[in-house]
Structure 1
């Protein structure tokens, strides 16, 4: 009988985690999800159209050349699509909306082989049973390795849920989100809050909180506003670029 060796993959949400990743302790191929799918259009009837949509948005908004996008971003996602059966896939993703949208997309790419792989998620430890919205940021190699030991295996139902969430997000389907928010998963206990945060974007929740902060703090100082927004609305996981764009929209 031929023994099939299991290949191990670690999918990280962004390059920041790579700096502290305990690669000397954990074996396997590292894949980086270099996107911010929470920001901008995600349309496209085909994968090629989707990548063109994203590349154009990233170039226009963040000044990243299309060629660089295809070389540094699309190639990593293509690696996910090429993960073979009998693999072990470890997702290093946090609970905030920024991370979750990227996570949903990555899982959707894996669905053709989902039945034939083992999938795990590694998340930062909770604080008083609530997410630490700073995510992996404060963690060093030692604590990241500890988090890996506490990884959670995802069931076929979990993977289906995440892929369906991407479909709802991509198609801006509020009705489908309304159905999915009722689905319970032990591995994603804060999903209902995350989905609600996404739905509330249509009602300008982030912009309204920014207005409140500027009024209450009597300031237009970006650093002050950004830090306070992180305290109040860490669930969004917005970086400084996303908050800057929201402030421009308000002005």
Structure 2
């Protein structure tokens, strides 16, 4: 009987992590999830319609040409869809909403082979049993390699949960999100507050916090506001682009 060689994949949430990724220590193919699915429309009845929706939004909002989106973003997600059976898949994703929305989508792409792969989640270490919302940012190559050694295997139930979360998120099914938030998973213990943060966007929670910060600090300085927002609402994982958009909405 011929042994099937296991292929290893590392799915990274964004290029920032790639800069410090210890590729010299960890073998396997690297795939980059270059999206911000926490921002903008995610509708589309077919994959083609979904990509067109996202490409149009990214072009209009961030000024990136559609051609670039299809070349640099869609091609990476197609690599995830092409991951074969008997592979090892390592998800490098944090606990905040930005990362989780991307993770949910990535897991949904793997659902057809979820039962015949080994999947793992790698996260930054907790601080006093709570997430460090700075995520992988402060970690060097050594710390990232150490995090890899602490990786946790994802069960088929975990992968199904993530895919179901994506379906509920994509369809803005708030009742389903509330239902899924109640599911207990050792690998996603902060799911409930993250989903609550998503639900609270309907009531302008991020915008209201930004207003409070500007009022309390008596400032419109973006760096000051952004830094304080990260302290108070790091659970969203918003980058400067998302916070700038929210400030424009307020004004």
TM-score by length of 2: 1.00
Aligned length: 251
- Please, which runs of 5 or more residues in structure 1 have no aligned partner? none
Matched, 1:145 2:145: yes
Q: What CA deviation, in whole Å up to 9, does each residue of 1:184-240 have, x standing for no partner?
A: 101111000100000000010000000000000000000000000000000000000
Q: Where does residue 171 of structure 1 map in the other structure?
A: 171
Q: Where does residue 89 of structure 1 map in the other structure?
A: 89
Pairing 1:94-243 to 2, within 5 Å after superposition: 94-243=94-243
**Per-residue deviation, 1:181:** 1.1
TM-score by length of 1: 1.00
Q: CA RMSD for the aligned pairs?
A: 0.3
Q: What CA deviation, in whole Å up to 9, does each residue of 1:140-183 have, x standing for no partner?
A: 00000000000000001111110000001000000101110110
Query: SS of 1:233's equivalent?
Result: helix
Matched, 1:61 2:72: no
CA distance in 2, matches of 1:113, 1:35: 22
- Please, which runs of 5 or more residues in structure 2 have no aligned partner? none
Question: Segments of 4+ in structure 1 off by > 6 A?
Answer: none
Query: SS of 2:31's equivalent?
Result: strand
CA distance in 2, matches of 1:142, 1:181: 34
Query: SS of 1:59's equivalent?
Result: helix
Query: SS of 1:11's equivalent?
Result: strand
Q: What CA deviation, in whole Å up to 9, does each residue of 1:42-64 have, x standing for no partner?
A: 00000000000000000000000
Query: SS of 2:119's equivalent?
Result: strand
CA distance in 2, matches of 1:189, 1:99: 15
CA distance in 1, matches of 2:23, 2:151: 16
**Per-residue deviation, 1:65:** 0.2
Query: SS of 2:121's equivalent?
Result: strand
